[in-house]
Amino acid sequence: MFSHAMKYAKKLVKWLLFSSLYYSGGFNLIRYVSDRLEKKAVILCYHRVVDGKADYYSAPGTQLESRNFRSQLKLWSKKYKIIPLSELVAILKDGYGFNSSYMVLTFDDGFKDGFTHVFPVLKEFAVSGTFFVSANFIGKNSLFWQNQPRYYLSLTTRDRLKWKGIDFPIVSKNDKLRAECILKEKLGLMGPEKREADLYRIRQSLGINNDALSDKEIMLNHNDIYQMQSSPFVEVGSHSMSHSILSNCPPDQIEFEVKEERKIWDSTASIPVVFFAYPFGIYSESAMASLQSNGYEAAVTLREGFVRKSDDLYQLNRISVFRDDTTLSVMIRKLLRLYLRHIFSNIKSFLIWKFKK
């Protein structure tokens, strides 16, 4: 009882602090000072938008509640000028017209709720978003490899997991969280074919039928993508073939992840797909080289920060938005913190220069 009261009290204190910083004009003032020092654009990264409780198809933290998403877009539309990623990239290439009011909305992974929950809100507010989709998963009822362990652990009735010499209990919630972390860590080091074989063995160990998702419509299909891409509110980008961690992949696998997906998009997309989101935001020199050689114009990471005129187009920063993020928490805990960090960094640089002088 006491712990619940303490959690509620902490939330209340945070809300009061965020509200006072926002409604007193503190956010606007700090943003103004930061923007006067250097112009910066914002790219937000969302994953999923859902109604009610999070499901087991992806990490719960990536599933923003739809009412919260709509509330955020309402405020972003007032505070920023929301533009397509293509427009921001064109401005960065040209070197002219860069503006601190610019914000870009991006959505990773290509789940079905991008069409059912995100697309209608974008149309309502007449703003654009870029959806990064793994072409190999379009229209399929299978999950990304990193989401499968959580889903299968939620279904199993068995109390132990035995796989590759691992044998541990999966009875409690903490047991399953530990198992999920271990499985994801080991699977992330594998290539796609070996990973699929090991996921099959994991399902066998857990007693899960391979058709567990056969009646579910989980990912965007070609018609969804066509309808969204045909509108003025959606751009589509690549997210690799198998959603592998590219820094763990040898050069030939990286080339496959990039080049083969580009071939699919070239043959199916109504508009050229020239932007890329690194799975998990992790990239390497080999990955960037492959993107450039295969005609991609820019790529986004999950490195937190603003976008500046001098930034490498294949290493664009983004600010992630998670399930617990309210409109005010994004404004204060993330955006305001970055604006303050930028101001203090400039002050520090000035003092160092002054001291050396």
- pLDDT per position as a tens digit, 291-346: 999 999 999 999 999 999 999 999 999 999 999 898 988 998 899 999 999 999 98
Top-confidence residue, 8 or 203: 203
Q: Do the Cβ atoms of 79 and 105 come closer than 8 Å?
A: no
Hey, what are 158's tokens? 């068995």
Mean predicted confidence (pLDDT) in 63-78 = 96
Which residues are CB-contacts of 258 (< 8 A; sequence separation ≥ 6)? 238, 240, 276, 287, 290, 291, 294, 296
**Angle at Cα 96 formed by Cα 92 and Cα 101, nearest 5°?**
75
Top-confidence residue, 25 or 54: 54
Q: At what angle do helices 192-206 and 173-187 cross, to 10 degrees?
A: 160
pLDDT tens-place string over residues 237-271: 999 999 999 999 999 999 999 999 999 998 887 78
**Short-list 103, 65, 50, 13, CA closest to 327:** 65
pLDDT tens-place string over residues 30-40: 999 999 999 99
Cα–Cα distance, 241 to 340 (Å, whole number): 38
Give pTM, 2 decimals: 0.92
The DSSP bridge partners found for residue 162 are: 167
* No. of helices (H) and no. of strands (E), the chain: 15, 12
Cα–Cα distance, 109 to 11 (Å, whole number): 30
Cα–Cα distance, 218 to 141 (Å, whole number): 5
**Angle at Cα 285 formed by Cα 282 and Cα 289, nearest 5°?**
110
